[in-house]
Structure 1
């Protein structure tokens, strides 16, 4: 893992958890942007019928959703019968679908939409508590030919009743062999039909499909099922983080279907849900009832699903997913961001709190310092010349969603946009400090003036003036900044200043091997090549066991330092998805006995939790937070303690494994 070498690396901490390692994708020319459509499961479960499918398909057209790109109409589980026909093919339940699937597909096609079907890579489909319905295992080519003959444009392929070694249970989260070969068999069968059929793999994130599914399908589920509860959003997003770098045209990690319109979430929650799925480049598959004999979608939900800006971010031609860039666990806030075509950036500040907060999106958290334009999507406003931060109220469980254009990279301050000229020179305000430090590097670029000119530089954090000598239009000097965005830098010069650049110190990395363990915590030597950059880690970090180290004291009492933590978490919530599972673990850092700072980290595992060396528990990631209390220790040293203090006892008894930390 790279560490913070420049200002922008303050942002990239979590995206480094999902490095791009693109493998050959399924090259069928489909899904070059994330698929969009509607699926019957979230609202109707495994009880669809012809009237439901056709009325919702028509609503997609009537409500303008088809014109916005929602294209596929998928009949999920519950459409077939327990046995195959005499000639060995699947058939529809004639009571529920009296017109038959070919005719229903024709109806959908006549609306200008795509016809999606559902099957399963097991001996039965996912129909717990309902009459068994035969799956496609061992009948892949027959079923692929059948779907093609019906005019299918999409196949959603599930993973129930598929593990022979365990007696074909409904769901097997610990299969003896990988699901990969079964999904590969269906891919080959679909290819053999000669029909273009978009292929959606649905194996719930078992065996880390992002490592192998891109070569098989156009999208692949990286999480267990979404559930009708707000807590599901946190769980899904935490599992997505390691897969973000795998998104690209034709290949999309799938966060599962949308619950917008199902009267489960508040309006701000629906905005958050829809926005995060969109910028993560997940397929946008509607899961609510649009229109049937009992239900019509609310106008507020329809407006959310129809937001052309948000849809545009999902369908952006660059095809790069946003990812978590900073998590303020103690404040209950997440920052997510990703690149868009045209040099734009989409950024989101998510409020996990149960109350409205005044949210501050620090642009350096998303790799930027200023933006010529900032489109506030859900507040429907646009600001110009935004420097360092953007502030707006955020409703409980809502988010601030910004499209940032005409931007400068983090740490770069053009004088024209960020400075104020005066008789003695120029003053830059709203200068951002990642950490309290006297070791920032300030670079100054001037126009005109004589070589050898001396610029007097004053930082508000120190109040002291320092001389910087100009050579060939440039000058460099060390300055002091405080953590936050309230710093001011004043340059006394007769020359015109074009811009300044500010870079934080590199800091010092302390490996886990340098820490003393206590209580339950223990050192663990990893498989060679894993647990980088140390090759080992500290495990069993709990509220009764942690790790400590004394570091040189080089700051004033009570200073705050940015601490970048290299951690490992592969506590995948599969069997616990419907209860307490979050796909996260806590880690805390306390300095000199001060109140611990807490970070709830997402998954870092980027390899199989079943079959890879260390089962994904050797895959590190980094994420940073500001920690208070430095400079207050005795004997010229600060005591740093890594633990799981203030974690959720009983839910997350074990903290994330610890590889090392960098103190900036």
Structure 2
């Protein structure tokens, strides 16, 4: 293990000696007594020591164009076109077979058998062909006994027994021996059988590790349970990417904005996305029938600011030059593939539907910005540097789509954005100040107990560490009572070489505890944190006077009609509300606290819903501590005057009791 307790002890002694003002000769004597004191002091976390992480996967997947109608010739044609079109050179490396490749056969030993009329030479032959083109091969299965093609057949008859349940390790070994590099694991069978998403996918991840121990290969794991099991709470470190929503396009459906916007919104789970783990809003529709050039660019802008996997779904062999150029724009792809590996977050919506998203990029003072107009009319949108965590100093702006400089601007930048469109920018400015916290213990994975924040919100956290091994090491990060997320720490070259990786964490106002814990095997040696605000995400907690607990959305769910509740205050994003100038209380950046079904009677549920501008989503904070709904005039109330975790929030006639009094902090 790279950690040296003696070295940490020496650092503490040295600090005490310096404080006492001993002479250099005294320090030299101390060095002679303790050789490890000659090692350099561990550095404070600084962004200039960043290390690149695995970027989101890029490639092509068969489903959105071919559905179940795939065979050896179709896949060869698309692999050839990825290379000849220049898409492979631009980074599109994966060729992923989706549903339809397997019609459900197994031999007497339970091994998968395939139709060699469709796949001459079997699946190893097609994987070998893909590899011969300098590309990587992906394949598809289901976590249950049956695959999606059994329940929802498209271009081929329903095929039974196309899932991997009961054969997890066996099938994963098979895929690895065939030479595949990536596997997408769907959930149709799992759903029909009533299986538990977290349980099954963690079993699959363990089976993948066990299979790798046998074959020496490893598969990238794409969990595809459509966000139904809230994978952003548990999938990091088990899957490499996980779907956060339902399909962006169904069979025989025309591509549309509604699902594109929905999938983008639901993929924004910033605490879960970091160090090579990615929220997945589904495959791209760029270049499909019904998609205009403007809509293709919008789609790429949304997926790029989100740092989403880019799996093209069009027919690459027949695409237009215009489509190819949209898919391969190098500055847009650089935003998506940024080596810091973080997700963009919403930092402003001064006017409903005119939104600003910011993504922290590698380097110092670097941001990507998306100005997103979700309305039906062109409008000016402004990004303020302060909202992004940049100092209010001159910053330079560049348009990624036109690949031209827009100029240098003080405090912010304004431009017109067409209706239902976006402008994607990069900004180079000056980082705002942050706070550094040094570990002064002997712990390899320490707890930082005094991490302070002037307001609740999403923070940029740079973690300084050393990993002297040859492979990435893992540890979890847990803020207060929130979920623990697995963080991957790439090798730094030696046990005394320190680098930083970054995460986005949600902190409460005041003092927070940030705890690291080893996962398995050797842990990285974590030394320091640098914490910097992203002020556009700042909000308040709504604390009940009777309970001391916070208004909370259970388990970080974003599902409309989820009823708000009381829970121990943790500073989580599901407990951070933004008060808009329109009188709304907004959680997650896009869900409003809402009086269910425009209710105006006692007992009306207080739920979350897409913000609509309705009066039932507007609230007034009163001087006596009550909060009244503007439609009904009723008070926000903890049901039955209860104070326990899980107590539901509703509307009730104002009565002056403490269960109707709240503090916005």
TM range (shorter): 0.5 to 0.7
1:298-347: CA deviation from partner (whole Å, max 9, x where unpaired): 3222211101112112222222221122234x431121112111221111
- 1:394-409 → structure 2 map (5 Å cutoff): 394-407=417-430, 409=432
SS at match of 1:213: coil
2:143 maps to 1:115 = no
In the superposition, relative to structure 1, how do residues 248 and 569 fare at CA in structure 2: closer, same or farther (>3 Å)? Answer: closer
Query: Would you say 1:354 and 2:341 are equivalent positions?
Result: no
Map residues 507-526 of structure 1 onto 2, 5 A cutoff. Answer: 511=542, 513=544
Q: CA RMSD in A?
A: 4.5
Task: Report the CA distance between 1:274 and its aligned residue.
Answer: 1.2
Distance 1:196 1:184, change over 3 A: closer
**1:604/1:354 CA distance change after superposition, 3 Å:** closer
TM-score, length basis structure 1: 0.59
| Cα separation, 1, equivalents of 2:197 and 2:308 | 29
Give the distance between the partners of 1:145 and 1:210, measured in 2 at CA.
27
Q: Do structure 1's residue 247 and structure 2's residue 273 form an aligned pair?
A: yes
Deviations 1:49-106 (CA, angstroms, capped at 9, x unpaired): 2222111111110110111111010110011113313332112333433453222112
Alignment of 1:541-552 (within 5 A): none
Q: Deviations over 1:617-653 (max 9, x none)?
A: 9999xx9x9x9xxxx999x9999744579xxxxxxxx
Count how many residue pairs are aligned between Structure 1 and Structure 2: 446
Task: Find the residue that maps to 1:54 and give its secondary structure.
Answer: helix
Query: Which of 149, 156, 162 is the aligned partner of 2:184?
Result: 156
2:335 is the alignment partner of 1:337: no
Pairs within 5 Å for 1:208-357: 208-227=230-249, 228-241=255-268, 243-291=269-317, 296-328=318-350, 330-343=351-364, 344-357=366-379
2:205 maps to 184
Off by >6 Å, runs of 4+ in structure 1? 507-510, 587-591, 617-620, 636-640, 654-661
Q: 1:57 aligns to what? A: 79
Contact 1:180 1:212 in 2 (8 A): no
CA distance, structure 1, for counterparts of residue 424 and residue 81 of structure 2: 28
Secondary structure of 1:402 counterpart:
strand
**Pairing of 1:449-468 with structure 2 (within 5 A):** none
Tell me by how many angstroms 1:31 deviates. Answer: 7.8
- What's the CA shift for 1:269? 2.6
Larger displacement relative to structure 2 (110-119 or 191-200): 191-200
Is this contact kept in 2: 1:569–1:604, CA < 8 A?
A: no
Unaligned runs of 5+ in 1: 1-28, 412-503, 515-522, 526-533, 540-566, 576-583, 606-616, 646-653
CA separation of 1:179 and 1:161: change in aligned 2, threshold 3 A: same
Distance (whole Å) between structure 2 residues aligned to residue 569 and residue 121 of structure 1: 24
The higher-RCO structure (CA 8 Å, 6+ apart) is 1
Correspondence for 2:386 among 364, 373, 397 = 364
Q: Is 1:535 aligned to 2:561, yes or no?
A: no
1:492-522 alpha-carbon deviations (Å, 9 max, x no partner): xxxxxxxxxxxx9xx99794546xxxxxxxx
CA contact (8 A) 1:569 1:656 kept: no
Greater share of helix residues, 1 or 2?
2
The answer to whether the Cα contact below 8 Å between 1:140 and 1:189 also exists between their aligned partners in 2 is: no
For residues 562-591 of structure 1, give each alpha carbon's deviation from its aligned partner in whole angstroms, at most 9, with x where no partner exists.
xxxxx997342799xxxxxxxx9xx99799
Helix, strand or coil at the partner of 1:214? coil
Q: Tell whether the 8 Å contact from 1:220 to 1:254 is kept in structure 2 after alignment.
A: yes
Gaps of 5+ in 2: 1-50, 250-254, 435-534, 563-573, 593-604, 633-647, 652-659
Give the aligned partner of residue 408 of structure 2: 385
Report the Cα offset of residue 403 of structure 1: 0.7
**Inter-CA distance 70–373: structure 2 relative to 1 (3 Å threshold):** same
Counterpart of 1:131 in structure 2 is 158
